[in-house]
Amino acid sequence: MKIFCVGRNYVDHAKELNNPVPDQPLIFMKPSTALLQNNQDFVYPEFSKEIHYEGEIVIRISKTGKNIALEEAHQYFNQIAFGFDFTARDIQSQLKQKGQPWEIAKGFDGSAAIGGFLSFNSSLSDNNHFETYKNGKQVQNGNTNEMIFSYSDIIVYLSKFFTLEAGDIIFTGTPKGVGKVEKGDVLEGVIDGRKVLSCTII
């Protein structure tokens, strides 16, 4: 099972971190040991002083595919979930400055929290409203129709390089409003008005 992530897929988030808006999807991966499921607590790691939440829609691949055509891409996923792409922003910033890979800042244990999967109604394609709440206050509010690269665009692009397999998941990017977490914070993820993920930082 593979965990793919798309960086800078919302213009307003790319701008808040002073990053350029990409002309093709920016892809990175997390290992399966990054997964945090069933509303498990996130254990704040000792190696960072600046862990950020990034609330994202996650899609789940439903069958094997390679070099998938755009018209067929919607047939390759059938479930969505809310996810937090936890990021050690201090470490990521140092690595970015040196032009080095991000893995340790993005793929550490527990860095991929996901809620339960919902069946995906293809008529709602790229029109999922989602929100992040921190300690009961809304901090992110996005809609997947604002993505630079749609679910299908991402699947087409990924499948040029990687064979997609049933069970692989894709974090599709975060809107603006990312921020720090502290021990004791409670993060919640909402899709289309429904709370689908809760994660306490310990």
Binding to Zn ion by residue 175, rule CB under 5 A?
A: no
Which of 85, 131, 168, 188 lies at the binding interface for Zn ion (CB under 5 A)?
A: 85
Instruction: Choose the binding region for Zn ion from 82-90, 109-117, 137-145, 186-194 (rule: CB under 5 A).
Output: 82-90
Q: How far apart are CA 189 and CA 114, in angstroms?
A: 9
Q: What are the strands of the beta sheet with 137-143, ordered from one edge?
A: 137-143, 129-134, 186-191, 194-200
Count of residues touching Zn ion (by CB under 5 A): 3
From candidates 54, 131, 168, 188, binder to Zn ion by CB under 5 A: 54
Pick left, alpha or beta for residue 135 (phi over 0 → left; psi -120 to 50 → alpha; otherwise beta): left
Shortest CB 32 distance to Zn ion, Å: 17
Among the residue ranges 15-23, 123-131, 151-159, 168-176, the one whose residues contact Zn ion (CB under 5 A): 168-176
Q: Which one of residues 73, 174, 175, 191 is an interface residue with Zn ion (CB under 5 A)? A: 174
**CB 75 to Zn ion: min, Å:** 25
Q: Are 128 and 57 in contact (CB under 8 A)?
A: yes
Work out how close the CB of 54 gets to Zn ion at its nearest, in angstroms, rounded to a whole number. 4
* 3 to 31, 35, 66, 85, 121: CA distances (angstroms): 6, 9, 16, 11, 22
Note whether 35 and 111 are within 8 A (CB). no
**Closest CB 123 distance from Zn ion, rounded Å:** 26
User: What residues line the site for Zn ion (CB under 5 A)?
Assistant: 54, 85, 174
